[in-house]
Amino acid sequence: MEQALIVENLKKSYGRFEALHGISFEVAPGEIFALIGPNGAGKTTALRIVATILQPTSGTVHVYGMDVQKDAARIREIISYLPEEAGAYKNLTGFGYLSFMAELFASDAAIQREYIQRASDITGLGERLRDKIGTYSKGMTRKLLLSRAVMTHPKLAVIDEPTSGLDVVAAIDIRESIRRTATEGMAVLLSSHNMLEIEYLSDRVAIIDKGTIHDVGTPQGLKDKYGKANLEEVFVQVVKQ
Amino acid sequence: MRRFFVVLRKELKEMLTWHTLVPILLIMVIYSFLGRTINQEQKKQAAPQPITVVDLDCSQTSEMLAGILTKANFKVTTVTEGVEGDIVRKVVSEKGSAVLVIPQGFETGIQAQHPQKVETYTIMRNFSMMGIQGTFRMEAALSAMNEYIGDMYIRSGAPGLDPAIVKHAISAQSFVTVGMTSAEGDPQEIVSLVMQQTMIIPIVLFLVIIMAAQMIAASIASEKENKTLETLLSTPVARGALVTAKMMASGIVALVSAAAYMVGMKSYMGSLIGSSAGTSGTAIQAIEKLGLVLDLRGYILLGLSVFAGIMVALSIAVILGAFAEDLKSVQILIMPLMMVVLLPYLITMFIDINTASPVLKWVIYAIPFSHPFLAAQFIFAHNFTMVVAGIIYQFALFFVLAAVAARIFSTDRILTMKLNTARRGSGLGGWTLQREGISLRIRRK
């Protein structure tokens, strides 16, 4: 089966500073794959390149066989990207925002309506969708944005720090939404420095630090391999090595 | 007391940032430049002013008057024959600025103690505050002549001398010439009427340009700050379409502002022409005859020039906005643009572009925002070539800048370029335009 995402020897430099030193990994359709590492490890840079908003310095990235540099426009049709702590247009209502974003992806009005309906169901915000986004809490905004990210049935969702800054209840809601939509066949590439969250959410993880991937495996496989009780301890062990 | 100084030091450190210092320094530089330039212009005004005396009387008195004018700091050229209209046209074509016609029988009239009338032609090419100074020349010339004739009467000590004739032996029938057309009217009244029509233009234009530029730069900065830009860039919308839509939206708002301003101007001018209290009918007839009232062509040209200026400001603002990380940094990024708009606004208000030095003239022409400020003056002076050339230059510059803006949006520069005013650990202050890692640092010396 064709892989959802293949990243090979990906490097990214900002001037003389190399943020990624040649990372490689693959994500299968329907799989939740996580990049875990501390702040500044290069997770966001990798996600932005997959989302076609940054260009790689060298190496290749293929999304369902399409190259991020040559086929960026076609890739944008089948992916969705949710940046870390992203906001929405505060003067729009929740519905207004979903409608605006759905129109950018939908080919006709019927599909646009379907996208909006799906997003409304996922958010669970009900009547609050008629209120301006400026009145939403951080958790509500994140739910709105996540539902926006998955409403178009993307084949690959790229989600940066899905629950960063959210309280426990909102974080659990978000995690469950991601899990639920992934079961429909959507591949998910996400990043987090919250390793316990990743342990619960991901099928496989890649441990990244200072622009280098140190190990890749299932959370259980990595814990067994390093004889540790959780991913945090695995991470410390891997980075020390 | 020590604690007071600790707090004071902290407050000063917070207040004296580049955000506050740069505008102060820039204003200081601009005003010093402006002061020097205006000073030079005033020196030019102090030099002997050229005047052509058409002496149709060819008498001893009329010759003496020419001499008096030379003493009163005029550079006199005397013409003794020819048709009045032809002479005025010749003076216009030779870039002269004033003509005084002394009629036949002038000396005889003066000797008979009859008030005499001379004709004066003020040739107008500039309608700025400096241009209005030219209208005082004729008054000075007339006053010098009256003083001479008055002295002559007093010295003659003729019995029964009328004090009125001693004070005002000579009066003037004033004409104003614009291009090749002359119309009777008081030059000062005409110039002030023209200035009333145009004085509002730079103020409104300055506000519209700054408003439009701030709108688009703030729009980009807020999209970056809220990370909605990242989301937009990952959608199937073409990058070119994104930047074009942003510019077009601001352009439309700016166009509406420009249109509103033009309509307001038209109504303002209508009321001015229709019910000008204290303005003589002769002056109103004169500005109409001289073409000093904006017609449809004038409005279209002025509107185009204003719109082109706004579009240039918008394209610069898009590029500047790409450097902004948040709304706060928009203010500091827009500041240089505000200064570039402010400079021609002040210069064109105080300086006669026609007599400015070639270097200053080209500096003014190179600033795209000078053209909308100058457009009205050029239209009134019937110099349409300069207006059209200015519009073409502005649109050409806009297309170049828009291409640069589109290029920034189509690469990852839109996310990685930023303005960093923070001090580095090495203690180097100054400005840093950087792309996460690539720093262009202008060191303070």
**A127-181 pLDDT per residue, tens:** 999 999 999 988 889 889 988 998 998 999 999 988 877 788 878 888 888 888 8
3-state secondary structure of B4: helix
Determine whether the interchain pair A82/B435 forms a contact, defined as Cβ–Cβ distance below 8 Å: no
CB A174 within 8 A of CB A142: yes
Q: Which residue of A has its CA nearest to B219?
A: A89
B80 in reach of chain A (CB within 8 A): no
Determine whether the interchain pair A101/B235 forms a contact, defined as Cβ–Cβ distance below 8 Å: yes
Determine whether the interchain pair B230/A85 forms a contact, defined as Cβ–Cβ distance below 8 Å: no
Prediction ipTM score: 0.91
Give the span between the Cα atoms of B72 and B60, in whole angstroms.
18
Q: How confident is the model at residue B427 (pLDDT cuts 50, 70, 90)?
A: very low
What is the pLDDT at residue B440?
39
Please state the rounded mean pLDDT for residues B349-357.
76
What is the pLDDT at residue B433?
42
Distance to chain A for B20, nearest Cα, Å: 30
- What are the helix (H) ranges across B176-280? 187-198, 200-225, 228-233, 239-274
Q: Which residue of A has its CA nearest to B239?
A: A73
pLDDT digits (tens, 9 = 90+) for B339-348: 888 888 877 7
Determine whether the interchain pair B228/A79 forms a contact, defined as Cβ–Cβ distance below 8 Å: no
CB A41 within 8 A of CB A210: yes
pLDDT of residue B45 exceeding 90: no
pLDDT digits (tens, 9 = 90+) for B399-410: 999 888 888 888
B236 in reach of chain A (CB within 8 A): yes
pLDDT digits (tens, 9 = 90+) for A202-234: 999 999 999 999 999 999 999 999 998 888 889
Please state the rounded mean pLDDT for residues B138-159.
82
Partner-chain residue, chosen from A16, A76, A89, that has the shortest CB–CB distance to B234: A76
B424 in reach of chain A (CB within 8 A): no
pLDDT of residue B295 exceeding 90: no
Determine whether the interchain pair A14/B416 forms a contact, defined as Cβ–Cβ distance below 8 Å: yes
pLDDT digits (tens, 9 = 90+) for A15-69: 888 999 999 999 999 999 999 988 888 999 999 999 999 999 999 999 999 999 9
Q: How confident is the model at residue B422 (pLDDT cuts 50, 70, 90)?
A: very low
Other residues' Cβ atoms within 10 Å of the Cβ of residue A62? 20
Distance to chain B for A224, nearest Cα, Å: 38
CB B83 within 8 A of CB B37: no
B412 in reach of chain A (CB within 8 A): yes
Rounded to a whole number, what is the distance in angstroms from the first to the last CA of chain B?
Answer: 35
3-state secondary structure of A156: strand
Beta bridge partners of B172: B118
Q: Which residue of B has its CA nearest to A49?
A: B412
B19 in reach of chain A (CB within 8 A): no
A232 in reach of chain B (CB within 8 A): no
Our CA dihedral for A164, A167, B233, B407, rounded to 10 degrees, sits at -50
Residue window 308-337, chain B: list those with CB within 8 Å of chain A: none
Which distant-in-sequence residues (6+ apart) come within 8 Å of A33 by Cβ?
Answer: A5, A25, A27, A187, A188, A189, A190, A202, A203, A204, A205, A206
Residue A104 with chain B: CB contacts under 8 Å: 235-237
Q: Which candidate in A12, A54, A71, A152 is best for mutational testing of the B interface (most B CBs within 10 A)?
A: A54
Give the span between the Cα atoms of B409 and B321, in whole angstroms.
11
Angle between helices B281-289 and B187-198 (to 10 degrees): 70
The rounded mean pLDDT for chain A is 90
Residue (of B107, B83, B87) closest to B98 by Cα position = B87
Determine whether the interchain pair B231/A86 forms a contact, defined as Cβ–Cβ distance below 8 Å: yes
What is the pLDDT at residue A82?
92
Distance to chain B for A85, nearest Cα, Å: 8
Please state the rounded mean pLDDT for residues B171-195.
83
A79 in reach of chain B (CB within 8 A): yes
Q: Is B427 exposed, middle or buried (0-12, 13-18, 19+ CB in 10 A)?
A: exposed
Partner-chain residue, chosen from A51, A55, A77, that has the shortest CB–CB distance to B236: A77
Please state the rounded mean pLDDT for residues A99-107.
92
Please state the rounded mean pLDDT for residues B368-379.
87
A13 in reach of chain B (CB within 8 A): yes
Partner-chain residue, chosen from B227, B412, B416, that has the shortest CB–CB distance to A87: B227
